[in-house]
Amino acid sequence: MRTNWMKTAVLLLGMSLSGTALLAQATAAPETTAQNATQRPQLSAEQKEQLGEMRANARDQAAIIRNDQSLTAEQKRAKLKALRASTREQMKSVLTPDQQKSFAARREARKSHMDAKLGLTADQKSKMKELRASTHQQRQAVLTNSALSNEQKQAQLAQIRQTSKAQLATILTPDQLAQLKQMRMGSRHHEHAQM
């Protein structure tokens, strides 16, 4: 009889402690989620490089698919859907689940004008607009060139990106370039200063 009483007491104590722990987790979860949403995910240099390459390749492949005149609209949709799924899976293999959640939250939070953040002058805004238009025009010329293979198109698109980066460096001041890089990639020093 005494053994049953002790078993019951231990069981009740265990249940109350686990219930308290679950309640504490449930009430702490929203705060933790809110904090994680505003913090930049900690990526290794290797992760940053891999993700940058994945994005650039996916963007180029998507542009090639969209401009492939031999594909029907339905075939383009199917290929783009497959490309998105493939890229998403590749990115998932590089990111942890917490990093994936953090990226999604930050993407939603980042909706403001870049020129205001960078403090661009009217001349810089004009030059950047011209650079974007020129880059777009060059990309379209490559994408619509049916004489090029997809591999050649990707190589030329990569060259256009590099040239565009170099031209951007002549438009922005070193401080603005640094700020732009910080906005795009995040800065651990900036985060630590805020904490």
Give exposure, 4-19, as e/b (b: 16+ Cβ within 10 Å). eeeeeeeeeeeeeeee
pLDDT mean across residues, the chain: 76
For residues 46 and 62, give the distance between their C-alpha atoms in angstroms, rounded to a whole number.
Answer: 24
Distance (Å, rounded) from C-alpha 29 to C-alpha 114? Answer: 33
* Banded pLDDT at 77 (limits 50, 70, 90): confident
- Per-residue confidence band for 182, with pLDDT thresholds at 50, 70 and 90: confident
Which pLDDT tens digit goes with each residue over 21-33? 444 444 444 444 4
The percent of residues in the chain predicted with pLDDT above 90, rounded, is: 17
Report CA Rg, the chain. 25
Q: How confident is the model at residue 2 (pLDDT cuts 50, 70, 90)?
A: low
- How many other C-beta atoms can be found within 10 angstroms of the C-beta atom of residue 64? 20
- The alpha carbon of residue 65 and the mean position of all alpha carbons in its chain are separated, in whole angstroms, by 22
- Domain chopping of the chain, boundaries: 43-110, 119-195
pTM, full prediction: 0.46
Whole-angstrom distance, CA of residue 194 vs CA of residue 129: 33
pLDDT tens for 86-113 read 888 888 888 888 888 887 777 666 544 5
Condensed to tens digits (0 to 9), the pLDDT of residues 108-158 reads 665 445 777 888 888 988 898 899 889 989 988 888 888 999 889 889 999
| Average pLDDT for 150-174 | 92
Top-confidence residue, 78 or 18: 78
Per-residue tokens: 71: 């594909």
Distances (CA, A) of 148 to 60, 68, 72, 91, 152: 14, 11, 19, 28, 6
**pLDDT at residue number 174:** 92
Q: Is the pLDDT of residue 20 over 70?
A: no
